[in-house]
A = this chain, B = another copy of it.
């Protein structure tokens, strides 16, 4: 055997992910990555490959983590309708609005890179489809529980909810104050998820 790694791979990926999240892909230099990871350039390359592969790895970490949160959010509430409300409200579920201003790493990356980077586009589609599927499942449950009308297509409703949520994320990125954003989130939730 030989010398073992002196760093925690997951910890480095999380630090790198946060850097990309805050500054975007192009605006993050290798020097930034060296700084936040605490590793040297050589180690970074040896362990993760070049900047692009490192970014994809960080992006995957993000989608895995937030995918986990999403499943938890959708299954933890006693009633599926409440879980769907929480899903729409998620972008404003942060007192200071810091999360709203930071936005969603997947959305940020899609806007920055989807037209030029097939790997990012593929990851975006994968995440989008997975999210639609799990939300649609909750819509179905809400129907079973008698909280949503039976005459709507769960997948179609899920897409509308996802669009609403991402629209809120966009408005958060424009720096809209958190109170106004919260009010809009409530309006959207009320219109798309009527009590009937």
Q: Which residues of B contact A157 (CB under 8 A)?
A: 187
Q: Across the interface, do A170 and B171 meet the contact criterion of CB distance under 8 Å? A: no
Q: Which of A97-138 contact B (CB under 8 A)?
A: 101-103, 107-108, 110-112, 114-116, 121, 124-125, 128
For residues 173 through 193 of chain A, which have their beta carbon under 8 Å from a beta carbon of chain B? Answer: 173-176, 180, 183-184, 187-188, 191-192
Q: Is A47 an interface residue (CB 8 A)?
A: no
Q: How far is the CA of A176 from the CA of B107 in the complex (A)?
A: 14
Interface centre among A22, A103, A107, A171 (most CB of B within 10 A): A171
* Contacting pair B163 A167 (CB below 8 A): yes
Chain B nearest CB: distance from A93 CB in Å?
Answer: 16
Instruction: Output the nearest chain B residue to A124 by Cβ-Cβ distance.
Output: B174
Question: A159 touching B174 by the CB < 8 A rule?
Answer: no
Question: Which single residue of chain B is at the shortest CB-CB distance from A185?
Answer: B163
Copies of this chain, whole number: 2
Residues 19-75 of A contacting B (Cβ, < 8 Å): 22-24, 26-27
Q: Specify which chain B residues have a CB less than 8 angstroms from the CB of A115 in the assembled complex.
A: 22-24, 101-102, 173
Contact of A107 among B124, B170, B183, B192 (CB under 8 A): B170
Is residue A160 contacting chain B, with contact meaning CB distance below 8 A? yes
In the complex, what residues of B have CB within 8 A of residue A162's CB? 167, 171
Complex CA gap A189/B128 in Å reads 21
Q: A130 to chain B: closest CB distance in Å?
A: 12
Residues in B whose Cβ lies below 8 Å from that of A168: 163, 167
Q: Is the CB of B174 within 8 A of A160?
A: no
Residue of B nearest to A126 (CB): B174
Contacts of A22 in B (CB 8 A): 115
A-B residue pairs in contact (CB < 8 Å), sample of 15: A22-B115, A24-B115, A24-B116, A107-B111, A124-B173, A128-B171, A128-B174, A156-B184, A159-B183, A160-B187, A163-B167, A163-B170, A167-B167, A167-B168, A192-B192
